[in-house]
Amino acid sequence: MALPVIPIALAAGAFALARNVSISPVDQRVEDRLDDVAEGLSAHRDYDGRQVNAAYRWKRVVRFGKTGAGFEIDASALGRLRFTRLG
C-alpha cells in the first residue's frame, strides 16, 4: 500500500509553520506601507545590486448573489532578498 506523500508533506509543512507563528501588536508604519503597495507584482533592485525588494497586492470584491452581502479581500506582501559578501 503506497503512502499518500503529498497530504503528509502538506500536514508536516502546516505544522512546522504553525509552530513558528508569533502574534505581535499591530505596527501602524507597516500597515501604512502595505496600503501604499500598488496592485500586482513589482520588484526593485538597489544601485549596488545587493538587494532586491518585491511587493505584491491582490484586491477583489466578492458578493454572494447580485444583491447579496459583499466583502473586500485585500492581500498585500512585501519581501526582501539581500546578498552580502563575507570575507
pLDDT tens-place string over residues 42-86: 998 888 888 889 999 999 988 888 888 889 999 998 888 888 888
Q: What is the mean pLDDT of residues 12-40?
A: 87
Residue 40, pLDDT score: 93
DSSP string, 5-58: HHHHHHHHHHHHHHHT-------HHHHHHHHTPPSEEEEEE-TTSSEEEEEEEE
Q: Could you tell me if residue 81 is inside a domain?
A: yes
Q: Could you tell me if residue 86 is inside a domain?
A: yes
Predicted TM-score (pTM) of the model is 0.60
Place of cell 479581500: 73
Sheet holding 51-63, edge to edge: 40-45, 51-63, 70-82
Query: Does the pLDDT at position 1 exceed 60?
Result: no
Q: Could you tell me if residue 6 is inside a domain?
A: no
Q: Could you tell me if residue 17 is inside a domain?
A: no
The number of distinct structural domains making up the chain is 1
Residue 46, pLDDT score: 84
Q: Could you tell me if residue 7 is inside a domain?
A: no
Q: Could you tell me if residue 79 is inside a domain?
A: yes
Q: Could you tell me if residue 59 is inside a domain?
A: yes
Residue 59, pLDDT score: 92
Give the domain range for residue 61. Answer: 38-87
Sequence length of the chain is: 87
Q: Could you tell me if residue 25 is inside a domain?
A: no
